Amino acid sequence: MNAMTCRKGFTLLELLVAMAISVIIVAAAYFFYNTQVQTKMTQERVLDIQQNLRASMVMVGADIRMAGYDPEGTTDAGITVATASTLTFTTSVEAEANGLDDDGDSTTDEADEASQPMTLETITYTLNDEDGDGDLDLVRVVGTSRVVVGENMEALEFNYVLDDGSTVSVPTDRTRVIAVRMALLARSRTEDSGFSNSVTYRGYTSAWGPYNDGYRRRLLRRTVRCRNRGIDQ
């Protein structure tokens, strides 16, 4: 056996084939990894929207259930503004929990203020660009205090169920309102590349979209019954 027949190695063709297979494997692995990353990011965006919506609905629902609360019959609490986009109502609160200096001693919410008469607290829910970033927020207004309940909201709709079972957008007699229907549309904080939202979202009487952009959106609708029927204006 001579030296030429004992030599071992790869031919140029074999090297090219091996490189091509390696490139295919690496490309497939990157594609799979990138797909998983994009899926994870999408799930996180959707989860963020859903948590934002649910947290907002919990707070609004808790407040609406207290609309018209007037256990002593002295404050005339009730719904004061009821439109398709804004809801304002009052509820009775005890003096030591209303954030005011009821006894005039420069200290708010003291225990000794419990002896003071119950007072009205006015609560408003509406959409507003609260921080001026161009995105609407669900805002809870109590007196001069404004708190953002939910960010990146797209649309809000209120409807009102009357004591005869009918539903209206603007009740002429607010004392007949027994429940409030709320539709809230929220969107993701950032856009998804390669995604186009062509969905039309429907509230109770309104329709929103299609927006044809890269933002993901979710719609949540809920009916909240007013526990306090004694709502006089």
Q: Minimal CA–CA distance to 88: which of 78, 96, 75, 98?
A: 78
Q: What is the pLDDT of residue 183?
A: 97
Q: In angstroms, rounded to a whole number, what is the distance separating the alpha carbons of residues 195 and 206? A: 25
> Quick one: pLDDT band at residue 206, thresholds 50, 70, 90?
very high
Residues 192-207 have a mean pLDDT of 92
Domain boundaries, the chain: 13-96+115-225
Residues 155-177 have a mean pLDDT of 94
pLDDT tens digits, 31-85? 877 777 777 777 777 788 999 999 999 999 999 999 988 887 777 888 999 999 9
Q: What is the pLDDT of residue 127?
A: 96
pLDDT tens digits, 90-113? 998 875 554 554 555 555 544 454
Q: What is the pLDDT of residue 116?
A: 53
Q: What is the pLDDT of residue 108?
A: 53
Chain-centre distance of CA 176, in angstroms? 28
- pTM value is 0.74
* 3-class SS of residue 157: strand
Residues 167-183 have a mean pLDDT of 94
> Quick one: pLDDT band at residue 214, thresholds 50, 70, 90?
very high
Q: What is the pLDDT of residue 48?
A: 87
- Decide if 138 contacts 127 (C-beta within 8 A): yes
Q: What is the pLDDT of residue 216?
A: 92
Q: What is the pLDDT of residue 57?
A: 94
Residues 145-154 have a mean pLDDT of 93
pLDDT surpassing 70 at residue 25:
yes
Flag the least confident range among 1-10, 132-141, 188-197, 213-222. 1-10
pLDDT surpassing 90 at residue 148:
yes
Top pLDDT among 120 and 96 is at 120
Considering the chain, what is the average pLDDT of its residues? 84
Q: In angstroms, rounded to a whole number, what is the distance separating the alpha carbons of residues 117 and 102? A: 9
Q: Minimal CA–CA distance to 216: which of 188, 196, 184?
A: 188
